[in-house]
Amino acid sequence: MLMKALRVGLGQLVVLGDALSRPRAQRRSAEAQARVAAEAAHLSLYQFHACPFCVKTRRALHRLNVPMTLHDVKKDPAARERLMAGGGKVKVPCLHIQDNGESRWLYESNAIIAYLDQRFGSIA
């Protein structure tokens, strides 16, 4: 019981720290931002709200100004089942990439952020 209270409290501190120190969003032309939004429509992030690695990944999404569907697998049992069925394990963060009819599941915050930087960082 005490451990759960500590974990929840620390998680809320992480979320608060993120809200207070969120990076500035990348600015793009309207056309470039529309292109980013169209490409991001094929991506979704499976995450927990207060997970530090998920917060790190969401900060990168904000910095890159990439609108994305978020699925909280702690609160949404259907999302949890999709993650397990598609990715093979319930581990977050996980980026679901749907490209050209293919489906890929990318785990690990550093790998996800590198993918996002490579795909969206140079779109101006």
Residues 77-113 have pLDDT tens digits of 999 999 999 999 999 999 999 998 899 999 999 999 9
**Which domain does 55 fall in, by range?**
2-120
How far is residue 88's CA from residue 94's CA, in Å, rounded to a whole number?
Answer: 11
**40 CB-near residues (< 8 Å, 6+ apart):** 66, 67, 68, 120
Residues 42-68 have pLDDT tens digits of 999 999 999 999 999 999 999 999 999
CATH number of the domain within which 33 lies:
3.40.30.10
- Our measurement of the distance from residue 2's CA atom to the centroid of its chain's CA atoms, rounded to an integer in Å, reads 29
**Number of domains observed in the structure of the chain:** 1
pLDDT of 21 reads 85
* Residue 119 pLDDT > 90: yes
